Amino acid sequence: MKTKTKIMKKKAFSECLTKKGISPLIATVLLIGFAIALAAIVFKWGGGFTKDLSKQTSYELASGIQCTKTVNLMIEQSCILGNKVRIKTTNKADGSLAGAIIRIINTQNQIKQTDLNIIVNPFQTVNFDGYYDGIPKNILKSRITIIPKISVNDKIEICPAKDFEFDGSNCQNLLKYGSFEGVNVFLNHVPPDPIDPPDIWYPSSLGIADTLDNTELFGDKTLQITSLGYVYQSTSIESGRSYTITGWIKPAIGGSGRITLSPSGCSGISTDTVSTNEWVFVNQSMPATDSCTSSADLKLENLGVTVGVTVEFDNIQLFES
């Protein structure tokens, strides 16, 4: 039995040795076919890659050309308006901008970025408003970057940035001495005849109000008011227009400060803050109404009743919204 099995295995092995493999011709044809198929795959992939690369290169080239054609910003003016920096800018190029990104880095390295979608046509002047963090003092000597935006094939792209150091002051203010520079003493002032509205701050009969030598917020002065005291200033507004009051208030612990705009013939606006012992920014807008007259009083007051508790004010602004 063992001999028979041995003979059968030997026979099978011999048959394997005598079988023929794939002929050289067929093997060559298969290799050529494989090579052609591989080449086709590589060509198709490479063609698509080259096409995409070429398309991207052309797009970037077009964007660069469009930036050169469209962007030529001239900064006319920059100033503080409330808690933002207003940058008056003229586009002195032949193309239109799709807007700009305003990036402000103050002297404390706080960063605030504002994305504006404002169409700026050739040779048009617009206001770019970028909001900032921190107090106004930290904005002076700060770095401001304007990053223009353009539209290329219905896609928004950015162009090379324009940088400058901010060294401006307040924008136009309907109030005089809003930062209390140039005003020394409020006591014993007597308002002039009502026909000639006062153009400086005047005190109430209660409390004491005076300026302090203080550079911690903006400029060299702040206004300090004792309990139940206030100061006011008359100004002119126009009916049918909206106005905004902004300012910084620092109430001592137990104190409360308020800014009020009181036009004749219509409801006014007021904003206040309490007991922080830190500078707090306040902002309030008055909607347009035709019932207001041209005269309005803006009042700064200490609402606290505790004797000796003071409130400070600085950088008060009134402007058309």
Domain spans, the chain? 72-165, 202-320
Instruction: Summarize pLDDT for 108-128 with one digit per residue, the tens.
Output: 999 999 999 999 999 999 999
User: What is the rounded distance in angstroms from the CA atom of residue 312 to the CA atom of residue 279?
Assistant: 9
For residue 116, what pLDDT is reported?
96
- pLDDT surpasses 90 at 15: no
Judge contact between 270 and 257, C-beta under 8 A.
Answer: no
For residue 105, what pLDDT is reported?
96
For residue 66, what pLDDT is reported?
78
User: What is the rounded distance in angstroms from the CA atom of residue 124 to the CA atom of residue 90?
Assistant: 6
Confidence of residue 86 (pLDDT cuts 50, 70, 90): very high
Strands (E), 159-310: 162-165, 202-203, 209-213, 221-225, 230-236, 243-251, 256-263, 269-274, 280-286, 295-302
- pLDDT surpasses 70 at 18: no
Task: Tell me which of 57-66, 162-171, 176-185, 296-305 is least confident.
Answer: 57-66
For residue 172, what pLDDT is reported?
84
CA-closest candidate to residue 221, choices 192, 186, 250, 179 = 179
| CATH fold match for the domains 72-165 and 202-320 | no
Instruction: Summarize pLDDT for 146-202 with one digit per residue, the tens.
Output: 999 998 888 888 898 999 999 888 898 998 889 988 765 454 455 555 544 445 787
For residue 184, what pLDDT is reported?
56
Judge contact between 94 and 122, C-beta under 8 A.
Answer: yes
By percentage, how much of the chain surpasses pLDDT 90? Answer: 36
- pLDDT surpasses 50 at 223: yes
Query: Can you give the C-alpha Rg of the chain in angstroms?
Result: 38
For residue 250, give Cα distances in angstroms to 183, 192, 202, 232, 278. 19, 30, 20, 18, 5
User: What is the rounded distance in angstroms from the CA atom of residue 104 to the CA atom of residue 91?
Assistant: 20
For residue 187, what pLDDT is reported?
47
Q: Which CATH superfamily is domain 202-320 in?
A: Galactose-binding domain-like (2.60.120.260)
Task: Tell me which of 76-80, 274-278, 297-301 is least confident.
Answer: 274-278
- Neighbouring CB atoms inside 10 A of 120's CB total 25
Question: For residue 123, what are its two tokens?
Answer: 């040779």
For residue 49, what pLDDT is reported?
46
CATH topology of domain 72-165: Immunoglobulin-like (2.60.40)
User: What is the rounded distance in angstroms from the CA atom of residue 167 to the CA atom of residue 154?
Assistant: 37
For residue 54, what pLDDT is reported?
46
Residue-wise DSSP of 136-152: GGGTTT-EEEEEEEEEE
What is the greatest pairwise CA distance in the chain?
141
